[in-house]
Amino acid sequence: MMDVAKPLYVAKLRRARAAWVFDLRPVTLVFATIVLISVTSMLYLTQASRVAATGYDISRAEDRRARLERRQQVLLADIAKHQSLKRIEAEATAKLGMAPAPPPQYLRVRAPAVDVDAAVQRAEHEAQHLPRTWRERLAAAMRLSSAR
C-alpha cells in the first residue's frame, strides 16, 4: 500500500504548488480557450496565405519562363534567317556592291618541270657508257661487248 501512497502524495504536492491552474473559473477557461483557438487560427491563416502567395509566384515564374522560351525560339529563327546564304549573297550585292566571281579559267600546263638532280645523274650515267638494259648488262658481264 505504500507504493500507491507515494505517487498520490507527489500528485497532491504538485496540485498544492500550482493551485491557480486547478482553481480556474469557467470565464477564465472560456477566455483561455478563445485565445488558444484564435492563435491557432491566425497561424493557420498565415500559413495558408503564404502557400497561396507562393503558388502565385510559381505561376508567374512559369508564365515568364514560357514567354522567354517563345522569345528564344523567335530569336533562333531570326539567327537562322540572317545566316542563310541567299540573304548573305543578296546583302553583299545590294549593300556592299559585290558581284559574283567569274568562273575560273584553267591553263593547260606541259610536262612537269624537270628534276635537275635526276637529269644530272642520267647525263653522268650516259657519259660513262654504262649498260642500261639487262641485255647490255649481261653482255658486259660476259665480256662479249666492249661497252666500257
Query: In 3-state terms, what secondary structure has residue 141?
Result: helix
C-alpha distance from residue 135 to each of 123, 128, 129, 131, 141 (Å): 21, 17, 14, 8, 10
Residue-by-residue pLDDT tens, the chain, 148 positions: 455 568 778 877 777 776 666 566 788 888 989 999 999 999 999 999 999 999 999 999 999 999 999 999 999 999 998 888 888 888 888 888 888 888 888 887 777 677 888 888 888 877 777 766 888 778 777 876 554 4
| H or E segment to which residue 121 belongs | helix 116-127
The cell numbers describing 7, all together, are 505517487
How far is the C-alpha of 11 from the C-alpha of 96, rounded, in Å?
A: 102
- CB of 109 closer than 8 Å to CB of 117: no
pTM, whole model, 2 decimals?
0.40
Q: Where are the domains of the chain?
A: 24-94, 117-148
Place of cell 507504493: 3
